[in-house]
Amino acid sequence: MNEVFVFGAGASYASAGTPLGAQLVWEYHRDCTPLKRIDEWGIADTQEDDVVFSNFHKFLEVIERHFPQAVGESARFRNRGAAVYHRPEHLEAKEYSIDEILKLIQERSDNDDRKLIKKLIFEHLSHQFAYPHKLRPNELYQNFIDKVVNSKSKRTASIISFNFDLLLDEVQYFDYMIEFDSPHPSKRNRSADLIPFIKLNGSLNWGICWKCKRLSLYSCYIRRGFYEKEICCEENAKEPFIIVPYENYADKMKILWSKAEHQLRLAHKVTIIGYSFPEYDQKAIESFSTALNENVELQIVDYCTKSDSNVREKETERIKVKYREMFPHLKREFKISLDGFADFVENYQST
């Protein structure tokens, strides 16, 4: 029985505390700032901090330019002293999430601002996962591989991910289903024994030179500033090959979407964990709608913090309605769990 597991940000948050969309970039300083040295006068030495988070300071200046309500935030960060920067409450509304900021930037065709935010996404995620900064052990993904994937016969399981973090990548080798011009020597990119792992938004350890279009695969253990040293043609630094919300998919990604659709067509069961099909992800909605067989068994694993049965019933019904609107051709009832990724792994039964 072919089963496809689909991962979104909620899965990585459950496994290792990765930032969700509302936290991404905004909480970079909070998540990753080291303790500061205090001099004999009781003044914090922020020189190193200022260098590490220079792009975050630029980000706050960008936000001030696009949102009058944010004016003063770059100065507040600059004058923080030993304090950790916390976003003020009036900037916690949905319109200030990175997804919505990227939408606005796309509408205004501000390519420099988009590149800065992409760079900060890489810095936030790579720095947070770097030892000793990692918030908590990545045990849940390890348990998923041990208890779920390895309980199935070879090549009957495949994984589709909308995450570009490296939490699942560090657990074991996978077949990324994409050709690299420069594979990392520690990675076996292709093997009949490897599980297909299709990362539809790219990956932090996939480096691309946008001049010659060469794609390189690097180790999972990369750090902030890594790509600044990866120089390709014409002294051009490579960039992490990641696709952010509202950004057009590069040609190299089209083959991955085709392979993801192929896996979905073969699937008898599809389990979606921590992914909500946001409105901006129309490509995902269209691809799944086209590829899913009408008799596929669809399971949605979400997490509801409330124990009240009425609240959980309403949330279950909301999810059912949403999925029925997205995929009206599916004949079978959806299976919905609100107990999260950990509970799914703990109680998984192979079929």
Segment 210-227, tens digit of pLDDT: 888 889 999 888 888 888
Q: What is the pLDDT of residue 192?
A: 60
Crossing angle (nearest 10°) for helices 54-66 and 98-107: 60
Q: What average pLDDT score do residues 72-96 get?
A: 92
Residues 335 and 278 in one domain: yes
Q: What is the pLDDT of residue 45?
A: 60
**Domain contains 116:** yes
Of 76, 106, 129, which residue is a domain's last? 129
pLDDT band with cut points at 50, 70 and 90 for residue 120: very high
**Domain contains 300:** yes
> Exposed (0-12), middle (13-18) or buried (19+): which is 28, by Cβ within 10 Å?
buried
Q: What is the pLDDT of residue 203?
A: 95
- d(CA 349, CA 35) in angstroms, rounded, equals 45
Residues 65 and 96 in one domain: yes
Convert the pLDDT of each residue in 319-350 to its tens digit: 999 999 999 999 999 999 999 999 999 998 77
pLDDT band with cut points at 50, 70 and 90 for residue 131: very low
Residue whose pair of structure tokens reads 């599809």 in the numeric block: 270
**Domain contains 286:** yes
Residue 280 has pLDDT above 90, yes or no: no
**Domain contains 219:** yes
**Domain contains 308:** yes
**Are the beta carbons of 64 and 70 closer than 8 angstroms?**
yes
**Are the beta carbons of 122 and 158 closer than 8 angstroms?**
no
Residues 244 and 311 in one domain: yes
> How many domains are contained in the chain?
2
| Collapsed DSSP state (helix, strand, coil) of residue 105 | helix
**Domain contains 22:** no
| Collapsed DSSP state (helix, strand, coil) of residue 55 | helix
- d(CA 258, CA 28) in angstroms, rounded, equals 34
Q: What average pLDDT score do residues 42-68 get?
A: 86
Q: What is the DSSP string of 220-274?
A: S---TTGGGG-B-GGGPBPEEEE--TTPPPPHHHHHHHHHHHHHHHH-SEEEEES
- d(CA 210, CA 138) in angstroms, rounded, equals 32
Convert the pLDDT of each residue in 228-253 to its tens digit: 888 888 778 889 999 888 787 778 88
Residue 43 has pLDDT above 90, yes or no: no
Q: What is the pLDDT of residue 133?
A: 44
Q: What average pLDDT score do residues 189-217 get?
A: 86
Question: Residues of 82-120 as b/e, b for ≥16 C-beta within 10 angstroms?
Answer: eeebebeeeeeeeebbbbbbbbebbeeeeeebbebbbbb
Residues 144 and 270 in one domain: yes
Residues 110 and 149 in one domain: no
Q: Which range has the worst mean pLDDT, 124-128, 156-160, 177-181, 294-298?
A: 124-128
Q: What is the pLDDT of residue 98?
A: 93
Q: What is the pLDDT of residue 277?
A: 94
Crossing angle (nearest 10°) for helices 251-266 and 282-291: 40
Residue-range definition of the domain harbouring residue 222 = 3-16+138-346
Strand partners, 152: none
